[in-house]
């Protein structure tokens, strides 16, 4: 007789679960309000999304999956949404890829990753999530790693659990799989039996049978109890020297001291297969903004390491009223620089989204002068070079989403403290606050400061000095025209080069 507790027991028809998800999205999308709906970021047509999943180049297309709750604008039992693109510029909506349908994923098809097998099929590893009591975490979770396979990258056949959780660890999830020297490796984040945040590794010859290898990394802070969404890959510096980058989203019992309680970042070090990871650097967050979490990377066919993050809207309550909630960041290329540090810059493809370009520079603003660059900007990229030697302003920068109600979001250089900030104290709706990236001493000594900002309909993503810092934030403007203005506070601002580019839609309206 079939064991009813077998995690692979079918409990619902998968095709039916997907059809239910699709019609729920269609219902929400029909009522959607578009005041903040992104034009060039990936979002669901309706419902809630979180982590990017299964990032891959498969069968001549980019595939981006994401955690999806199709039935409301809040987090709930997880499905996987899916979009694909041939060029990373124009995206196409694919049907929902996964819905809960086996006992193992009854309460959620949680995060995971994708790889192409030798047979040319797309293999997806994900966490099957159950609440022990079937309702919430109160009595613990049952989390196991599952496998699904697809011929076309769109329709999947679930093969069931491949990595069990015999110790019944409360947190044990987010498998990231890659192949090296003919062996498949999987890393998984967990809360260890002694309640520490750890990443463990497994190996397999056939992707079905996995052998536990050991602990790859244990977080040094005992307050950190879980490392979500681990990722691990080699990066070569320009001199050819290879380092390994270990990435995770750390859940902590106390404030991380880095503004966000749970924070996504990386440690650089060395690794030899079969051994634990040896960190060389301290932990660094990927992004200094309030809305960045759970990133995942993929290796592009041309060798680039590309990453998407989730713009986590956990505290932007007003984003939930419009029929959709949550978007991914832009794709970012991760590179290792000569000095051994990481740069994180918008993927090169994004330059081809540019439509109408305005050249403004050179611009000289007198103390307390404000100058309007655009009266009504749609989705926009801004490139700004600040001449640090000729700028005496205490703070200077660019106001975006500046609306008739007086609201705006301010992307500025704070000369007194050596910061680049995203100041949302005057933003019309949503969360307020002030987030800062601290410039390094050599950046403060440099002749210029380079800012590149992507202003979507409800967000800003700022890259500083070729990707040395990034700041992502939702920015929810009021009704009416959205102006862009330059401002110099109590001193002069010298801008040798200022450019704006209107950006085309990525086609996911
Ligand atoms: C990170 C995360 C993952 C989990 C998923 C569930 O945001 O908590 O650890 O797989 O979201 O939606």
DSSP letters along 149-209, please? Answer: EESSSSS-EEEEEEE--TT--S-EEEEEEEEETTEEEEEEEEE-TTS-EEEEEEEESSSSS
Mean pLDDT, residues 52-61 taken together: 98
Tell me: cis bond preceding 362? Omega within 30 of 0 counts. yes
State yes or no: pLDDT of 72 exceeds 60. yes
Confidence class for position 295, pLDDT limits 50, 70, 90: very high
The predicted-structure confidence for 3-34, as pLDDT tens digits, reads as follows: 667 999 999 999 999 999 999 999 999 999 99
State yes or no: pLDDT of 259 exceeds 90. no
The predicted-structure confidence for 137-172, as pLDDT tens digits, reads as follows: 999 999 999 999 999 999 999 999 999 998 999 999
If one residue of 67, 141, 286 were mutated to test the ligand 1 pocket, choosing by the most ligand atoms within 8 A of its CB, it would be 67
Tell me how far apart the alpha carbons of residues 457 and 480 are, in angstroms, rounded to a whole number.
Answer: 12
Choice between 188 and 338, residue whose per-residue pLDDT is larger: 188
pLDDT given for residue 102 in this prediction: 98
Question: Could you tell me the two tokens for 270?
Answer: 């060395």
Shortest-distance atom of ligand 1 to CA 249: 1
The predicted-structure confidence for 336-353, as pLDDT tens digits, reads as follows: 999 999 999 999 999 999
State yes or no: pLDDT of 373 exceeds 60. yes
pLDDT given for residue 358 in this prediction: 97
Tell me how far apart the alpha carbons of residues 370 and 242 are, in angstroms, rounded to a whole number.
Answer: 47
If DSSP codes are grouped into helix, strand and coil, which group holds residue 349?
helix
Question: Could you tell me the two tokens for 40?
Answer: 């060039």
Tell me how far apart the alpha carbons of residues 178 and 245 are, in angstroms, rounded to a whole number.
Answer: 14
Mean pLDDT, residues 430-455 taken together: 96
Mean pLDDT, residues 306-327 taken together: 88
State yes or no: pLDDT of 496 exceeds 90. yes
**Ligand 1 centroid – CA 426 distance (Å):** 31
If one residue of 136, 170, 228 were mutated to test the ligand 1 pocket, choosing by the most ligand atoms within 8 A of its CB, it would be 228
The predicted-structure confidence for 102-117, as pLDDT tens digits, reads as follows: 999 999 999 999 999 9
Strand partners, 438: 419
Confidence class for position 319, pLDDT limits 50, 70, 90: confident
Distances (CA, A) of 71 to 27, 99, 324, 502: 9, 12, 10, 33
Question: Could you tell me the two tokens for 38?
Answer: 């992104």
pLDDT given for residue 4 in this prediction: 66
Contact 295, 308 (CB under 8 A): yes
State yes or no: pLDDT of 498 exceeds 70. yes
Question: Could you tell me the two tokens for 329?
Answer: 């960041």
**Percentage above 90 pLDDT, the chain:** 94
What are the backbone dihedrals phi and psi of residue 319, each rounded to the nearest 5 degrees, phi first?
A: -70, -15
Count Cα neighbours of 346 within 13 Å in the Cβ-side half-sphere.
25
Confidence class for position 245, pLDDT limits 50, 70, 90: very high
State yes or no: pLDDT of 2 exceeds 80. no
Residues with CB under 6 A from ligand 1: 50-51, 67, 78, 110-111, 127, 173-174, 228-229, 293-294
pLDDT given for residue 191 in this prediction: 97
* Region of poorest pLDDT, from 24-28, 256-260, 275-279: 256-260
State yes or no: pLDDT of 315 exceeds 80. no
Mean pLDDT, residues 484-506 taken together: 98
pTM beyond 0.75: the answer is yes
Q: Of these residues, 6, 51, 355, 376, which one is catalytic?
A: 51
pLDDT given for residue 254 in this prediction: 80
Beta strand spans in 292-442 (E): 293-299, 305-311, 324-325, 327-328, 332-336, 342-346, 354-359, 363-365, 370-374, 380-387, 395-402, 409-414, 419-423, 434-438
**Ligand 1 centroid – CA 111 distance (Å):** 6
State yes or no: pLDDT of 133 exceeds 90. yes
State yes or no: pLDDT of 1 exceeds 60. no
Distances (CA, A) of 183 to 205, 207, 230, 273, 503: 6, 9, 19, 10, 42
If one residue of 70, 173, 190, 286 were mutated to test the ligand 1 pocket, choosing by the most ligand atoms within 8 A of its CB, it would be 173
Q: Is 51 a catalytic residue?
A: yes
Mean pLDDT, residues 273-278 taken together: 96
**Ligand 1 centroid – CA 372 distance (Å):** 42
Scanning the structure block, which residue is given the tokens 């290792």? 336
**Ligand 1 centroid – CA 277 distance (Å):** 23
Tell me how far apart the alpha carbons of residues 103 and 111 are, in angstroms, rounded to a whole number.
Answer: 17
How many other CB atoms are there within 10 angstroms of residue 30's CB atom? 10
> What is the pLDDT of the chain when averaged over all its residues?
96
State yes or no: pLDDT of 235 exceeds 90. yes
């Amino acid at each position: 007789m079939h064991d009813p507790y077998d995690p692979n027991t079918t409990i619902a028809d998968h095709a039916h679960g997907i059809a239910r998800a699709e019609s729920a999205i269609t219902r929400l999308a029909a009522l959607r309000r578009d005041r903040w709906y992104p034009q060039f970021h990936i979002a669901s047509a309706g419902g809630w999304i979180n982590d990017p999943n299964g990032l891959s180049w498969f069968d001549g297309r980019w595939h981006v999956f994401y955690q999806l709750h199709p039935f409301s604008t809040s987090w709930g039992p997880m499905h996987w949404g899916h979009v694909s693109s041939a060029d990373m510029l124009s995206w196409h909506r694919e049907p929902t890829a996964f819905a809960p349908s086996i006992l193992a994923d009854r309460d959620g098809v949680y995060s995971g990753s994708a790889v192409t097998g030798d047979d040319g099929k797309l293999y997806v590893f994900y966490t099957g999530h159950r609440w022990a009591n079937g309702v919430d975490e109160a009595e613990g979770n049952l989390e196991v790693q599952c496998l699904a396979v697809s011929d076309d990258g769109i329709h999947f056949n679930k093969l069931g659990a491949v990595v069990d959780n015999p110790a019944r660890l409360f947190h044990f999830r987010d498998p990231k799989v890659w192949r090296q020297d003919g062996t498949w490796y999987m890393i998984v984040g967990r809360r260890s039996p002694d309640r520490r945040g750890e990443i463990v590794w497994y190996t397999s010859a056939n992707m079905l049978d996995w052998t536990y290898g050991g602990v790859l990394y244990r977080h040094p802070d005992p307050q950190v109890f879980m490392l979500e969404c681990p990722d691990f890959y080699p990066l070569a510096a320009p001199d050819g020297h290879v380092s390994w980058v270990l990435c995770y989203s750390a859940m902590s019992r106390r404030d991380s001291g880095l503004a966000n309680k749970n924070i996504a970042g990386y440690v650089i070090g060395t690794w030899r297969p079969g051994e634990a990871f040896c960190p060389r650097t301290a932990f660094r967050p990927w992004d200094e903004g309030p809305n960045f979490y759970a990133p995942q990377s993929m290796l592009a066919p041309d060798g680039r390491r590309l990453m998407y993050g989730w713009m986590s809207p956990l505290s932007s309550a007003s984003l939930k009223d419009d029929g959709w909630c949550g978007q991914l960041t832009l794709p970012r290329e991760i590179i290792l620089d000569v000095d051994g540090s990481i740069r994180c810059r918008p993927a090169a493809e994004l330059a081809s989204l540019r439509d109408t370009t305005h050249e403004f520079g050179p611009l000289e603003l007198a103390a307390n002068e404000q100058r309007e660059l655009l009266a009504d900007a749609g989705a926009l990229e801004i490139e700004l070079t600040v001449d640090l030697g000729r700028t005496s302003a205490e703070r200077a920068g660019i106001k975006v989403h500046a609306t008739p109600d007086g609201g705006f979001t301010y992307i500025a250089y704070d000369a007194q403290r050596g910061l680049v900030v995203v100041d949302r104290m005057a933003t019309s709706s949503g969360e307020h606050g002030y987030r800062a990236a601290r410039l390094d001493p050599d950046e403060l000594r440099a002749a210029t400061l380079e800012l590149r900002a992507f202003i979507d309909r409800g967000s800003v993503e700022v890259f500083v000095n070729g990707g040395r810092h990034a700041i992502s934030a939702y920015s929810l403007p009021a009704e009416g025209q959205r102006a862009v203005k330059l401002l110099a506070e109590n001193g002069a601002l010298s801008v040798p080069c200022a450019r704006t580019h209107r950006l085309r839609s990525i086609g996911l309206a």
